[in-house]
Amino acid sequence: MADGESKAEGESKAERLNRELKELNDELRVALPGVQVLFAFLLGVPFTARFEDVTELQRDAYFASFVCATAASVFLIAPSVMHRIQWRRRDKERLIRTSNTFALIGASLLALAMTGVVFVVTDLLFAAAEAAAVAGATAGLVVAIWYAVPLYWRLTDDPGDYD
């Protein structure tokens, strides 16, 4: 039985919500270090000697990536803050639904930030055409693995298999 499935036929709503909240928190623990490392890297880039030599396109791509990484951090950290503020308010279902949405938005912003950084780094090493191709391939890979596969599963799964 997969982690996302009911542990037992008799799982109560409270038990299900507790499990779903734990699963969400575990998933965020995977995403957060990645976005934090990327954000830290992006914070330091403008202070390097080579940053003065970037083109306007590279500067724009860097800034877009920086903003996306910042927003991704906000959305991925938000569920923890919301949980603290809603502590013992007995409203886990709303917290889980909102946090799930925020996690998806945060992951999407992280994907945009990663793609932008791939473009900037590749453009520094090669030409804009190669950078666009590699960034496009990166975006395509993210869309395929992070979104298309699970959406395909969602569309083709038997609805009776859901909690």
3 occurs within a structural domain: no
116 occurs within a structural domain: yes
Average pLDDT over residues 52-71: 95
Residue 120 half-sphere exposure toward CB, CA atoms < 13 A: 26
2 occurs within a structural domain: no
Q: Which of 59, 48, 36, 35 is nearest to 120 (CA)?
A: 59
87 occurs within a structural domain: yes
CA distance 63 to 49: 17
Number of domains the chain contains: 1
1 occurs within a structural domain: no
Three-state SS annotation for the chain: CCCCCCCCCCCCHHHHHHHHHHHHHHHHHHHHHHHHHHHHHHHHHHHCHHHHHCCHHHHHHHHHHHHHHHHHHHHHHHHHHHHHHCCCCCCHHHHHHHHHHHHHHHHHHHHHHHHHHHHHHHHHHCCHHHHHHHHHHHHHHHHHHHHHHHHHHHHHCCHHHCC
- What's the confidence (pLDDT) of residue 1? 43
121 occurs within a structural domain: yes
Look up residue 115 and give its two tokens. Answer: 């793609």
Full domain range(s) for residue 139? 13-161
Round the average pLDDT of the chain to a whole number and report it: 88
5 occurs within a structural domain: no
CA distance 96 to 18: 10
Residue 48 has pLDDT above 60, yes or no: yes
99 occurs within a structural domain: yes
Q: pLDDT tens, 103-161?
A: 999 999 999 999 999 999 999 999 999 999 999 999 999 999 999 999 999 899 887 66
